[in-house]
Amino acid sequence: MTADDAPDLDALRAAIATCRVCRDGPYAAALGPLPHEPRPVAVLSSRARVLIAGQAPGLRVHASGLPFDDTSGNRLREWLGVSRETFYDRDCFAIVPMGFCFPGYDAKGSDLPPRPECAPLWRRRAMASMPQVELVLAIGQYAQRWHLGPRRKASMTETVAHWRDYYFANQGPRILPLPHPSWRNSGWLKKNPWFTQELLPTLRQDVDSRIL
């Protein structure tokens, strides 16, 4: 199978669910293996027209297996203007982060970045399996780097501030860059009121028009 094939979704889900590359693969030796058993968390969908491209699960999501099952998820659902029920309806939203497993903590107790093995291994196949996706919500710098490539600006703030450039000009699925909805970004939201005043209404209207 090439990276651009449209693989059978169930087979891809099963392959992702059993992936242990970050524990057993060749890179794990150099980077250090995951300090826990991998638990890939991703929602692939053949019907959802909105893809939430997040960063990587945190510890709580690692425990529950439910993406965005935390305070970040509550804020994201508020941004989207949807209930939990709609958010977890895979006919409405696909949820595919840049790293499918909780990456562990750094020395300061913050979540590590998504494992670098994950996107090169899975992302093209995941995207190819969901050709119906019309809107990609690229949350945080890792998703923005992958989905926007060289069109990304120098910083996450600049990229999000230029959201109209991507949202209105993109060929293929529309891409809307967003900051991470973590409480750690509450200060960012206060400093950048245009996000709430200008971007969020467009986001809500767009999502409302695309969910079934």
Write out the residues near ligand SF4 by the rule CB under 6 A: 16, 19-22, 38, 40, 99-101, 115, 117-118, 121
User: How many C-beta atoms lie closer than 10 Å to residue 130's C-beta?
Assistant: 20
Quote the tokens at residue 62: 């690692």
Q: How far is the CB of 94 from ligand SF4 (least distance, A)?
A: 16
Q: How far apart are CA 101 and CA 94, in angstroms?
A: 16
Q: How far is the CB of 189 from ligand SF4 (least distance, A)?
A: 29
Q: Which is nearer to ligand SF4, 118 or 148 (CB)?
A: 118
Q: How far is the CB of 25 from ligand SF4 (least distance, A)?
A: 7
Q: Which is nearer to ligand SF4, 103 or 173 (CB)?
A: 103
Pairing of strands 50-53, 135-139: parallel
Q: Which is nearer to ligand SF4, 16 or 52 (CB)?
A: 16
Q: How far is the CB of 100 from ligand SF4 (least distance, A)?
A: 4
Q: Which is nearer to ligand SF4, 56 or 207 (CB)?
A: 56
* C-alpha closest to that of 90 among 167, 17, 148, 10: 10
Q: Which is nearer to ligand SF4, 115 or 147 (CB)?
A: 115
Q: How far is the CB of 122 from ligand SF4 (least distance, A)?
A: 6
Q: How far is the CB of 57 from ligand SF4 (least distance, A)?
A: 9
Tell me which DSSP letter residue 43 carries.
B
Helix (H, G, I), strand (E, B), or coil: what is residue 140?
helix
Q: How far apart are CA 142 and CA 55, in angstroms?
A: 6
Q: Which is nearer to ligand SF4, 101 or 211 (CB)?
A: 101
Residues pairing with 93 in the sheet: 50
User: How many C-beta atoms lie closer than 10 Å to residue 68's C-beta?
Assistant: 27
Residue found under tokens 């305070």? 71
Radius of gyration of the chain (CA): 16
